[in-house]
Amino acid sequence: MQQHGISERRACRLTGLARSTQRRKQRLVVADSVAERLKELARERQRFGYRRLTALLRREGRQVNHKRIYGLCGDFGLVDEDTRECLAIEADTSLPGLRVIRVLEQLAFTRGLPEEIHVDHGPEFVSRALRAWCEERRVLLRYIEPGRPMQNGHIESFNGRFRDECLNANWFLSLPRARVTIESWRQDYNGVRPHSALRYQTPNEFAALIAQQQPQPLMMGKLS
């Protein structure tokens, strides 16, 4: 006996359901599949940000938008590309490349080396000294395109906040006083101010949470 299927259009007409409801169910199934796979990848690659996770999903043949993955990472509390911490603000009358290197060396000692640094084309960043330092330590120095500040959007957002809340709100009568005021603002930014991008945690709180989720190194003891 030959069996005949029934089209989606006819089935919906017979049941009184709109065809869009069936397509919506299909999209929900696909979205659930992506979300579950994203969670798995984030557990396997705990240091990956949403862009790298997006690349892995696309490599598997999934048609995903990086903005959607960014939103899902926020919904699930997964690791983002950074903690929004402000690790240092250097204030002086001039900041040549060697001063930038000095700050990076201090941060490397306390926090370790980053995989890459995103910068604009300021003279302190295009200096031979900084490029040599990054090359020697195998840190990728990634330059944004000239005239495209939003390619480093996190920093542009931070700079605007720093200008509005600190630089424009204070009158600096001396360099030492400026350094004290700026450092006080940095501490408040990291430890007191809640950030919406971090689900209203402070950068310090979020960094501590990420540290807890990182795999712990094996402790090697001496057998006697």
Task: Calculate helix-pair angle for 19-44, 66-76, nearest 10 degrees.
Answer: 70
Do β-strands 116-119 and 140-143 pair in parallel, antiparallel, or remain unpaired?
parallel
Burial 190-213 (b: 16+ CB within 10 A, else e): beeeebeebeebbbbbbbeeeeee
Q: Give me the CATH code for the 97-213 domain, please.
A: 3.30.420.10
Write the CB contacts of 138 (distance below 8 Å, at least 6 apart in sequence): 113
Torsion, Cα 17 22 23 29, to 10 degrees, reads 150
CA distance 55 to 39: 14
CB atoms within 10 A of CB 220: 5
Band of pLDDT at residue 76, cut at 50, 70 and 90: low
CA distance 137 to 116: 11
**Rounded to the nearest 5°, which phi and psi values hold at 57?**
-65, -40
Confidence (pTM): 0.63
Tell me if 14 sits within 8 A of 42, measured CB to CB: no
Tell me if 142 sits within 8 A of 134, measured CB to CB: no
**Rounded to the nearest 5°, which phi and psi values hold at 143?**
-95, 135
> Over the stretch 173-208, which tens digit does the pLDDT of each residue have?
999 999 999 999 999 999 999 988 787 889 999 888
Which pLDDT belongs to residue 1?
A: 44
Where are the domains positioned within the chain?
11-76, 97-213
Q: Which DSSP category does 114 fall into?
A: -
Which pLDDT belongs to residue 173?
A: 93
Band of pLDDT at residue 102, cut at 50, 70 and 90: very high
Between 37 and 70, name the one with better pLDDT.
37
